[in-house]
Amino acid sequence: MVFRTLTQRVSRTHEAWLTLLLLLVVVVPLAGLLWFVNRAAQNERFAVRQKLLEVYRAHLALAQERLDDRWKQLGAELDAQANQQAAPALFAKWVLAGTADAVVCFDPAGHPVYPQPARVMLTQSLAPGWTEAQSLEATDLPAAAKAYARLAGTTTNLNAMATAWQAQVRCLIQARQNDEAIAALAGGLRDNRFPQATDGQGRFIAPNAMLLLIELLQASQPDQAQVWRQALQTQLLDYDSGLLASQRLLLMRELHRLFPQAAAFPTLAAEALAAQYLERDATNRHVPVLQMSPLPGVWQFASASGRIVLLHRTETLPARLRAACYSPGLPAEVRLDFIAPGHEKEGALLSLPAGPQLPGWRLALSLNDQKLFETIANQQIGAYLWGSGLVGAAVVMLSLLALGMVRRQLALTQLRNDLVANVTHELKTPLASMRLLVETLLASPQLEEQTTREYLALIARENIRLSRLIGNFLTFSRIERNKYNFDFHPVPVAAIVNEAVAAMHERLNAPGCHFEMRLAPELPALIADADALVTTLVNLLDNACKYTGENKRIGLEVRLEQGQVRFAVSDNGIGLTPRDQQQIFKRFYRANPLRSPTVGGCGLGLSIVQFIVTAHHGTIQVASEPGHGSIFTVSLPAGETAAGTPKHP
């Protein structure tokens, strides 16, 4: 017993050390893993930033290259077209295409050709009789009008004719003869000759007359006014008509003032800007680079020869620059910005000079999402964390598995130690008593028959005890190695009971033991392993004898209850506490061995009984009271075949 306790304590210490070791095996790699993940996360943040910066730098360089190429190409294209197309048409084309906010065209000598500068006053051709008609204006306007009308009808010079017509209309308006003025204007405008007539400054007379007609018609005949408005608008947008820029600008403004909704001119702002530019000193245009123009907030870019100058307002320029270096491959998370000379861009990720065509300008890349690097790095780190989490979980699981295996191994070792300790101890007692009895017999000079018989009976009892003990050890060993095979057959209950009682005959019929057996009539046969059931009953009857003092009253009752055959083994022995009743079926468990020191046993019998009963799909119950005895009841299903061999508890 002492030996067993000692081995148990030693084994528990081993187990504690082993658990600690396994914990270390888990904790140390896990801590290392966490450290690595942490380092990897830091490195990942840095690496992601570097990697993305590299990619963005390449994109930026590409954009810069495109921009430079585009502007060089633009300079050459402008010159080529200046040689092929008339300046007003070029102006309209580039402005309407959105290439610039305004365009100024020069001739090879450097004189502006569109918009044209104001012309020197030409000598106006006047019809003969002009002075007489003019002198009438001071006294009789209607008469003057008539005189001018006559002049217009008689003269052959086109410009003189148109001037007389203009004067006629002027007199009619001054004389408040609007209807006559309208009729005169409409009549003249329908005359095919007038559209080509110009005044002393080279301005076409017809478009001005048309504007006058529209103004006169607006109050009385708005529909007609709209018809003429449409005609004038078409003329003003015709850049092949030879109309002077200053006249076009003036008429566009006037028409737009009269009809703010209907008369919208897409080139009006450009005309105004170009005119403003020419009013300033526009001589510094021979460098084909983007530079500030003399107008505030306006940039100029001249073609290689300086014949075409594109004007850009500061607010519209970035969109054009962006379009020039448009790169479909530019990642969506970044934005291309243009930084004007002397400006800074806050939060720009990278910047590069915009190229020789745009001196002082810089191209910059900014992040649309300032947390982009962090987000991408976090995605990567998330993957690391998942990976390491899985590895960690695997390590923990494997360690738990290993721990379980080691525990099982330890339990097995413990079992083996217990078995060895018990076998040696339990074998020693019967062997020693047998040896003593034999030696006593041998030592006596003369053998008395009575004494010899008594001694031999004692030796036989010890022998039986020894055999049962060894039988239990062997059974237990087979169970532990899963080598216990049952042989199920239909067996009559009486046969099992009789064999068990016969095996216990001597003890049950010993003096001081009263054994009573009650078998219910007509018990059904059991499908069982007969030997195993005999072992069960023998163990229970043996315990009943062992754990009962003088005046034993042992009973064996077999009855049929609820379709089950019940074997109840009762005694009036020392009984069991409720706690012991729960433990006694565990192997090697002995309930307070000090209370029955004389009886042998190693706590295997009941565990074997339970194993056999379970294999027969039955149950075992104990009802006991300390000092009053116990009843062990085995219930087996009547006539049922056992399905297999259960694991030993």
Closest approach of Cβ 566 to ligand ADP, in Å? 17
Restricted to residues 482-541, the positions that interact with ligand ADP (CB under 6 A) are 539
State the Cα–Cα distance between residues 314 and 298, nearest whole angstrom: 6
- Contact segment (CB under 6 A) with ligand ADP among 188-196, 444-452, 497-505, 566-574 equals 566-574
Binding mask 425-464 vs ligand ADP (x if CB under 6 A, - otherwise)? ----------------------------------------
HSE, side-chain direction, 13 A CA sphere, residue 110: 6
Q: Are 455 and 625 in contact (CB under 8 A)?
A: no
Residue 245 found at the interface with ligand ADP (CB under 6 A): no
Neighbouring CB atoms inside 10 A of 12's CB total 12
Please identify, using beta-carbon distances, which residue of 280 and 628 lies nearer to ligand ADP: 628
What Å distances lie between residue 241 and 87, 89, 100, 235, 244, CA to CA? Answer: 12, 10, 23, 8, 9
Closest approach of Cβ 515 to ligand ADP, in Å? 14
Binding mask 358-387 vs ligand ADP (x if CB under 6 A, - otherwise)? ------------------------------
Closest approach of Cβ 635 to ligand ADP, in Å? 18
Closest approach of Cβ 446 to ligand ADP, in Å? 39
Binding mask 584-613 vs ligand ADP (x if CB under 6 A, - otherwise)? x----xxx---------xxxxxxx------
HSE, side-chain direction, 13 A CA sphere, residue 190: 6
Return the structure tokens found at 141: 């306007």
Please identify, using beta-carbon distances, which residue of 382 and 593 lies nearer to ligand ADP: 593
Please identify, using beta-carbon distances, which residue of 590 and 616 lies nearer to ligand ADP: 590
Determine the size of the site formed for ligand ADP (CB under 6 A): 21
Residue 620 found at the interface with ligand ADP (CB under 6 A): no
In the chain, the largest separation of any two C-alpha atoms, in whole Å, equals: 196
Closest approach of Cβ 588 to ligand ADP, in Å? 8
Q: Pick one of 252, 571, 611, 613: the residue that binds ligand ADP (CB under 6 A).
A: 571
User: What is the DSSP secondary-structure string of 470-491?
Assistant: HHHHHHHHHHHTT------EEE
Return the structure tokens found at 463: 């022998």
Please identify, using beta-carbon distances, which residue of 303 and 607 lies nearer to ligand ADP: 607
- Contact segment (CB under 6 A) with ligand ADP among 72-80, 409-417, 456-464, 568-576 equals 568-576
Closest CA to 574 of 602, 544, 540: 544
Closest approach of Cβ 450 to ligand ADP, in Å? 32
Binding mask 264-303 vs ligand ADP (x if CB under 6 A, - otherwise)? ----------------------------------------
State the Cα–Cα distance between residues 417 and 422, nearest whole angstrom: 9
339: left (phi over 0), alpha (psi -120 to 50) or beta: beta
Closest CA to 304 of 71, 465, 602: 71
Query: Where are the strands (E) in 483-536, listed by range?
Result: 489-491, 513-519, 526-528
Q: Pick one of 116, 630, 633, 635: the residue that binds ligand ADP (CB under 6 A).
A: 630
Return the structure tokens found at 627: 């000092």
Residue 555 found at the interface with ligand ADP (CB under 6 A): no
CB-count burial class (<10 Å; 0-12, 13-18, 19+) for 146: middle
Alpha helix stretches (DSSP H) within 175-300: 178-190, 205-220, 222-236, 245-258, 268-279
Closest approach of Cβ 576 to ligand ADP, in Å? 5
Q: Are 568 and 614 in contact (CB under 8 A)?
A: no
Closest approach of Cβ 11 to ligand ADP, in Å? 21
Please identify, using beta-carbon distances, which residue of 439 and 625 lies nearer to ligand ADP: 625
Please identify, using beta-carbon distances, which residue of 331 and 646 lies nearer to ligand ADP: 646
Closest approach of Cβ 583 to ligand ADP, in Å? 8
Q: Are 299 and 290 in contact (CB under 8 A)?
A: yes
Contacts of 162 by beta carbon, 8 Å cutoff, 6+ apart: 152, 188, 194, 197, 198, 199, 205, 206
Restricted to residues 125-154, the positions that interact with ligand ADP (CB under 6 A) are none
Return the structure tokens found at 316: 């519209």
Return the structure tokens found at 639: 């006539």
Residue 544 found at the interface with ligand ADP (CB under 6 A): yes
Q: Are 214 and 206 in contact (CB under 8 A)?
A: no
Q: Are 528 and 491 in contact (CB under 8 A)?
A: yes
Q: Are 395 and 26 in contact (CB under 8 A)?
A: yes
Residue 573 found at the interface with ligand ADP (CB under 6 A): yes
Closest approach of Cβ 542 to ligand ADP, in Å? 7
Please identify, using beta-carbon distances, which residue of 67 and 606 lies nearer to ligand ADP: 606
Return the structure tokens found at 335: 């934005």
Name the 3-class secondary structure at 336: strand
Neighbouring CB atoms inside 10 A of 329's CB total 8
Closest approach of Cβ 392 to ligand ADP, in Å? 45
Residue 547 found at the interface with ligand ADP (CB under 6 A): yes
Closest approach of Cβ 463 to ligand ADP, in Å? 17
- Contact segment (CB under 6 A) with ligand ADP among 203-211, 406-414, 427-435, 573-581 equals 573-581
Closest approach of Cβ 560 to ligand ADP, in Å? 24
Residue 574 found at the interface with ligand ADP (CB under 6 A): yes
Please identify, using beta-carbon distances, which residue of 354 and 544 lies nearer to ligand ADP: 544
Closest approach of Cβ 499 to ligand ADP, in Å? 19
Distance of CA 494 to the CA centre of its chain: 74
Please identify, using beta-carbon distances, which residue of 402 and 623 lies nearer to ligand ADP: 623
**Contacting residues toward ligand ADP, per CB under 6 A:** 539, 543-544, 547, 571, 573-576, 584, 589-591, 601-607, 630
